[in-house]
């Protein structure tokens, strides 16, 4: 049987002298630091570096990229492989735990999803969009009772009024019988403040929708655990 206790020796023990695996068993995973949690996933370190020290090194790279733990989901496999002690298996383990966390968060949000409120919509799409390094424009199609019909990515790159064609929005809406639509896109900077282009895109789609009888309910910009509703800000 694999011995996690041996593999997950911390660089410096806590007050109780417990290793990460023992600490989790004694107090639950919530008692572990970020590095200790990652150390349990990694299981082993490398020459001259135990699992917790290796985890600290990985989290330092996260901090340099994003300023907090969410940077872990932004690190690509080649960057992980550049860290001494991280091979293909550990890189894949980290990628998979990030994806699992994203899916858990999305399913949790789905249980209380209400497309009539901007906060609920933002929460549902937050984990999909907040860590992307390029802007993604998402079209959400709704039926007459504001229930989700489907969603689709319309474009990847800068959301520019000269590039986003309302025709594409309403071709999709008509194809699936949508009564209303919502636009969402992310700001990789983490700041959801709308740009001039964001406002122009919103107004173009809103005006086109009024002519076709398909209402644009909102345009929501996703930041880093934050959002802006252009409807709430009265830009539409």
Evaluate the CA torsion angle 40, 45, 49, 55 in order and state its sign: negative
DSSP state, residue 75? -
Domain residue limits, the chain: 4-106, 112-229
Please, which residues bridge with residue 153 across strands? 138
The yes or no reply on domain 112-229 and CATH 3.30.499.10 is no
Whether residue 224 has pLDDT greater than 80 = yes
Q: What is the pLDDT of residues 76-125, one digit of tens each?
A: 888 889 888 899 999 998 889 888 887 887 777 666 677 888 998 998 89
Q: What is the pLDDT of residues 129-163, one digit of tens each?
A: 988 888 999 999 998 888 888 899 998 987 765 56
Q: What is the pLDDT of residue 104?
A: 83
Half-sphere exposure (CA, 13 Å, Cβ side) for 137?
22
Q: What is the pLDDT of residues 26-74, one digit of tens each?
A: 888 888 888 888 988 888 888 888 888 898 888 887 765 554 577 787 7
Residue 6: alpha-carbon gap to chain centroid: 33
Between CA 172 and CA 203 the distance in angstroms is 18
Q: What is the mean pLDDT of residues 15-36?
A: 81
Give the three-class secondary structure for 219. strand
Q: What is the pLDDT of residue 207?
A: 94
Please measure the distance between the N-terminal and C-terminal CA atoms of the chain and give it in whole angstroms: 61
∠ at Cα 193 (188, 194), nearest 5°? Answer: 95
Between CA 156 and CA 111 the distance in angstroms is 28
Of the two residues 191 and 65, the one the predictor is more confident about is: 191
Between CA 9 and CA 56 the distance in angstroms is 13
Q: What is the pLDDT of residues 155-190, one digit of tens each?
A: 898 776 556 788 889 999 999 999 999 999 999 999
């Amino acid at each position: 049987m694999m011995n996690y206790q041996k593999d997950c020796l911390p660089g410096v023990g806590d007050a109780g002298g417990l290793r990460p695996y023992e600490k989790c068993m004694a107090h639950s995973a919530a008692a572990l630091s970020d590095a200790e949690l990652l150390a349990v996933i990694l299981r082993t370190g490398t020459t001259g570096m135990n699992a917790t020290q290796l985890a600290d090194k990985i989290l330092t790279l996260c901090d340099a990229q994003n300023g907090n733990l969410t940077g872990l989901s932004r690190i690509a496999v080649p960057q992980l492989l550049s860290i001494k002690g991280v091979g293909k298996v550990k890189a894949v383990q980290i990628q998979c735990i990030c994806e699992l966390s994203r899916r858990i968060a999305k399913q949790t949000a789905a249980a209380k999803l209400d497309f009539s409120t901007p906060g609920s919509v933002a929460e549902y799409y937050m984990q999909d969009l907040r860590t992307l390094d390029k802007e993604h424009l998402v079209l959400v199609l709704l039926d007459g009772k504001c229930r989700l019909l489907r969603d689709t990515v319309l474009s990847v790159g800068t959301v520019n009024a000269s590039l986003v064609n309302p025709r594409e929005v309403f071709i999709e809406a008509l194809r699936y019988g949508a009564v209303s639509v919502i636009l969402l896109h992310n700001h990789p900077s983490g700041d959801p403040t709308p740009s001039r282009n964001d406002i122009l895109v919103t107004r173009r789609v809103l005006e086109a929708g009024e002519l076709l009888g398909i209402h644009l309910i909102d345009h929501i910009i996703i930041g880093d655990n934050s959002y802006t509703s252009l409807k709430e800000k009265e830009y539409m």
